[in-house]
Structure 1
Amino acid sequence: MGKPHEQLDAWKFSMELVKSVYQLTAVFPIEERFGLAQQMRRAAVSIPSNIAEGAGRNGAQEYLHFIGIARGSLAELETQLQLAVMLDFVTSDHAAFELADRTGKLLTGLHKKLSTT
C-alpha cells in the first residue's frame, strides 16, 4: 500500500514535476548549471519533500504548515519557470508548466481540506 503521502495526487504530480524540471534544466546553458537550474531543482524537490514530511507529522496543524511550505516552493518554481522563458531557455508550452499548475490546484485542495479539520 505504501506510505500515506504516496497515495496523494499532489505528491504524485509533484514527483512528476521534479522529473520534468530536471529534464528541462539539463539542457540549460552550461553557465546556468549552478545558477537558475540549481535553484529550480531545489524548489522542485522541496515540493514533494514537504508534502511527505507534513504527512509524517502529528496532527493537521503541522501537516498544514508543511503544505504551506510546499505551496511557497511551488510559487518560487513558477517564478523561475517564467524567468527561464524570459531568458529563452525554454518555451512556455513545456510540460513543467502544466504539471506545476496541476500540482498547485491539488495543493490548494489539500490545504482547504486540512484547514477544515
Structure 2
Amino acid sequence: MASFPDAEAVVCDLLEQVAPTATYLDVGWDENLPVIQVNRVGGSADSVTDVARIQVAVWAQSRAQVWQLANQIRDLIRFAGNTRVNGVLIDWTEEAIAGQQVPDVDPDDRRVISTFQFAFRRHFA
C-alpha cells in the first residue's frame, strides 16, 4: 500500500543539523536552547502529492541568535527541494509565511515562527 511520508518527521530530520528538533516540547525544554519545534498545521493532498504546511518555531538565548537560526533554517528549507532526507524525496519547498517574532507574555521569550510548504510523493512499501 502506498502512503505519504510523515512530513513532521522528515522536516525534523532535515533541521536536526541546525539545532535539536521536536514535535512537542517536554517540561524543562527551555533549559537547553536552542530548540526547534516542528508541527504540521495543514496542507492538501491528491492521489500523488501531499503538500504539507509546516510551522517551524525556533527558540534561542537571544534575539540575535534566534534570528540567525531562523535565517539558517529558511535557507536550508529553500534549497531542500529535489533532495532526499533519510531516503524521503522532498519534491519542492516554499515559504508560506516569513519569520515573525510574535510578542509574548514573557518578554524573554526569544521565538521566531515561520511556515513552509513541503511537497512529498506517495511511497510504496
Is TM-score (shorter-chain normalized) higher than 0.5? no
- The TM-score, its normalising length taken from structure 2, stands at 0.31
Which structure features the higher share of helix residues? Answer: 1
Which structure features the higher share of strand residues? Answer: 2
